[in-house]
Chain A
Amino acid sequence: MAPASSMEKIKEFLNSQIYDDDKWAVNSKLLGAAGLFAGSILFMRNFGDLMAI
């Protein structure tokens, strides 16, 4: 086989993480938690004043 280019290596890595059931269970939790963390930081910095009394 021809040596895999870096783009193909990345695609191979992503596919192995997404299409494998066990890994996807962990990765979906990781994405959800990271999304909640980043989203809450953006919310706090930009709209935090809405929650002030």
Chain B
Amino acid sequence: MGSSVSHAATLPPPPPPPPAVGLTGVLPPKTEEKGETKVDWLNLPCPVPFEEIQREALMSLKPELFEGLRFDFTKGLNQKFSLSHSVFMGSMEVPSQSSDTIKVPTAHYEFGANFLDPKLMLVGRVLTDGRLNARVKCDLTDNLTLKINAQLTNEPHFSQGMFNFDYKGKDYRSQFQVGNNAFYGANYIQSVSPHLSLGSEVFWLGHQRKSGIGFAARYNTDKMVATGQVASTGIVALSYVQKVSEKVSLASDFMYNHMTRDVTSSFGYDYILRQCRLRGKIDSTGCVAAYLEERLNMGVNFILSAEIDHRKKDYKFGFGMTVGE
């Protein structure tokens, strides 16, 4: 106590504590076990966006597996602008009605340009088969963000576009979507406790006169994240991610589609090490997959992807290289 107070004004020193009696002298002092702080219900954290409610599970369990050769080169022209060149040669799966997988050999080159600003992000990609992908993300104000996604193709009636308006509140987020084919959607997510957030979404598809509603919940602590999603389209999706250590995460997810009576569950691991990132998973259909990104040098990554389905006798192996950030 460094304040200049005269000796006469200082309080007498507190009396010494009474001598410890019996067990209280032997056991360590009891710490407050009823939670460190009281929950401040008016200052709950802002939840994750509704579409990212399962992001930890998706990042660990759904790497971009591919079959064939992949080469990506990104060149930054200045701090905000960069160009990218991508080559892919391999097989792409075409969704088919029967249980056989149809693989189509594909080769394409993709040219892309990215502009990254704190408030504005523009990403464009054009492929040799005539497709154009464009994404815009613009912070209109501190809390309001506009996102635009567009995929334009040569074939008529196959182009898609979507406008999203995101509003971030103190402990809630809401989003409004407008898309082509008269698609309108809205979702809202609210933190109800420091660990739990609940959300719901509605959508209306004008051209097919379909509408749907869905609910989602996310419970997260430092060590784990558990989410559940139910939709009126007959989909139930649950996921659980356990952060075992700074470098290792284990994740599991479960998806049930009532319309197609399709059930899938998978369990995977994600090792994020200094020189590599290794993700692997096993499925309830007996499919085993792994994805390795190895950092060979500054900005040079070597990628290996493998997916083995013994039941369908479908073996997919891919390798590639990524140069640039």
Contact surface of A with B, Cβ cutoff 8 Å? 26, 29-30, 32-34, 36-37, 40-41, 44-45, 48-49, 51-53
- Find B242's partner among A30, A33, A36, A48 (CB 8 Å cutoff): A48
Residues of B within 8 A of A53 (CB): 245, 247-248, 271, 273
The segment from B104-112, B128-136, B140-148, B262-270 that touches chain A is B262-270
In the complex, whether B176 has a CB less than 8 A from a CB of chain A is no
Q: A51-B248, A51-B269 are in contact. Are A37 and B254 (CB under 8 A)?
A: yes
State A37–B123 Cα separation when bound (angstroms). Answer: 37
In the complex, whether B174 has a CB less than 8 A from a CB of chain A is no
- Find B254's partner among A33, A45, A52 (CB 8 Å cutoff): A33
Residues of B within 8 A of A32 (CB): 263, 265, 284
Residues of B in contact with A, size category = 20 to 34
Query: In the complex, are the beta carbons of A33 and B263 less than 8 A apart?
Result: yes
In the assembled complex, how far is the CB of residue A51 from the closest CB belonging to chain B, in whole angstroms?
6
Contact surface of B with A, Cβ cutoff 8 Å? 224, 238, 240, 242, 244-245, 247-248, 250, 252-254, 256, 261, 263-267, 269, 271, 273, 284
Residues of B within 8 A of A51 (CB): 244, 248, 250, 269
Residues of B within 8 A of A33 (CB): 254, 256, 263-265, 284
State A37–B236 Cα separation when bound (angstroms). Answer: 13
Query: In the complex, are the beta carbons of A52 and B284 less than 8 A apart?
Result: no
Taking chain B's interface residues, is the majority helix, strand, or loop, or is none over half, making it mixed? strand
Query: In the complex, are the beta carbons of A48 and B265 less than 8 A apart?
Result: no
Query: In the complex, are the beta carbons of A41 and B263 less than 8 A apart?
Result: no
Query: In the complex, are the beta carbons of A29 and B244 less than 8 A apart?
Result: no
State A49–B269 Cα separation when bound (angstroms). Answer: 13
Taking chain A's interface residues, is the majority helix, strand, or loop, or is none over half, making it mixed? helix
- Ranked nearest first, the 5 interchain pairs of A and B with the lowest CB-CB distance are A33-B265, A40-B267, A40-B252, A37-B254, A44-B242
Query: In the complex, are the beta carbons of B284 and A29 less than 8 A apart?
Result: yes
Query: In the complex, are the beta carbons of B240 and A44 less than 8 A apart?
Result: yes
State A40–B267 Cα separation when bound (angstroms). Answer: 7
Residues of A within 8 A of B261 (CB): 26
Query: In the complex, are the beta carbons of B244 and A48 less than 8 A apart?
Result: yes
- List 23 interface pairs A-B (beta carbons < 8 Å), by A numbering: A26-B263, A29-B284, A30-B256, A30-B263, A32-B265, A33-B254, A33-B263, A33-B264, A34-B265, A36-B266, A36-B267, A37-B254, A40-B250, A40-B267, A44-B242, A44-B244, A45-B242, A48-B250, A49-B244, A51-B250, A51-B269, A52-B244, A52-B247
